[in-house]
Structure 1
Amino acid sequence: MPGLVFLVLCLLCSGDVAVSHDELKNVAYGKYAFQSSECGVPGYSGSKAVNGLFTDLAHSGAEKTPFLVIDLGKNYVIQEIEVFARKRWERIAMWCTVDTVGRYVKIQITSGVSNVLTPAEVLVWGHL
């Protein structure tokens, strides 16, 4: 996914938070997600990126800077965001700094002339 840039919209809070991996969960699972556009074929909505299945995908239309926004429903402490590509199960991971708190996650392609965004799944690892 050349040119893929993660934009995580979040509130930064101060304080120390220590969490073990056992306490983290995919806080994006089943949440509301929408795309900047959809391809011309029904069935590729943004919700496909947060349904827990790696066998389907979200698919934007061709545009300069397509994006996907996930509304987590409330603020979570976010530790890591993983994006799985539709081809060859490629994975891009971004680890957040300590105390990264937010409700919305936005993934966007920011370079190029004509792009499509086609994530198979987006996992947002965090806790309340």
Structure 2
Amino acid sequence: MHSFLLAIGLLCVHCAQTCKHSGYTNVAYMKKITLSSYHSKSQYPGSNAVNGKLNDVTASDWEASPWLRIDLGKSFKIQKIEVIDRTGCCEGRLHDVEFTVWSCPDHMNSCGRYIGPAKNGERITVFCPKNTVGQFVQLQIVKGEKNEISPAEVCVWGKPNN
């Protein structure tokens, strides 16, 4: 079952990089990532979250409300955000995640919240409200005292904001 889920996940990540759905593409692929803290920046760099690979992860250090932020480089109209949880270990670490999109901190848009906890390799999809526009996408664990945010991949489906 694990091999099947991994194969489906790899196909989905490949499609997220190369496919278009009604004009939406994965605008997060290979973009700049910042984490609230780093477990080991050299071993688990932020770039692992947007490189199209499911066999590596990024990881924050343990803290109350860790976050992962993607700078898309410019504003996009965001349709949905997908997170693929890591495989192989650490089931349940991804939980109570708030998904936020913005260009200006004064105008933040919530795309939703995932309660979880996620199973290893689980794909989580959050749809943003219609006409959500932003340059920054953030995932933040908002509940608990000691958490680590460590997804295998994050895809942000968007298109140019004309």
Offset, 1:45? 1.5
1:29-48 counterparts in 2 under 5 A? 29-40=29-40, 42-48=42-48
What does residue 127 of structure 1 align with? 159
SS of the aligned residue for 2:80 comes to strand
- Give the structure with the higher percent strand: 1
Residue of structure 2 equivalent to 1:105: 137
Moved over 6 A (4+): none
What residue number does 1:79 align with? 79
CA–CA separation in structure 2 for the residues paired with 1:28 and 1:37: 20
TM-score (norm 1): 0.81
Return the letter of the residue paired with 1:101: V
Q: Which amino acid aligns with 2:84?
A: F
The superposition leaves residues 5-30 of structure 1 with CA deviations (integer Å, 9 ceiling, x where unpaired) of xxxxxxxxxxxxxxx82411100001
Which consecutive unaligned segments of at least 5 residues does structure 1 have? 1-19
SS of 1:96's partner is: strand
Q: Distance in 2 between matches of 1:46 and 1:97?
A: 27
Where do residues 1-128 of structure 1 align in structure 2 (5 Å cutoff)?
A: 21-40=21-40, 42-87=42-87, 88-128=120-160
CA offset at residue 41 of structure 1? 6.6
Aligned to 1:10: none
Aligned CA distance change for structure 1 residues 124 and 43 (closer, same or farther; 3 Å): same
TM norm structure 2:
0.64
Q: Secondary structure at the match of 2:129?
A: coil
Residues 72-120 of structure 1: CA deviation (Å, up to 9, x unaligned): 0000000010011003311111001111110000100011010000110
Contact 2:40 2:59 in 1 (8 A): no
3-state SS of paired residue (2:152): strand
Which residue identity does 2:150 align to in structure 1?
A: T
Partners in 2 of 1:65 and 1:125 — Cα distance? 25
Residue-pair matches, total:
109
Q: Using a 3 Å threshold, how does the CA distance of structure 1 residues 77 and 30 change in structure 2: closer, same or farther?
A: same
RMSD, matched Cα: 1.4
| Identical counterparts, % of pairs | 46
Q: Which has the higher contact order (CA 8 A, sep 6+)?
A: 1
- Greater helix percent: which structure? 2
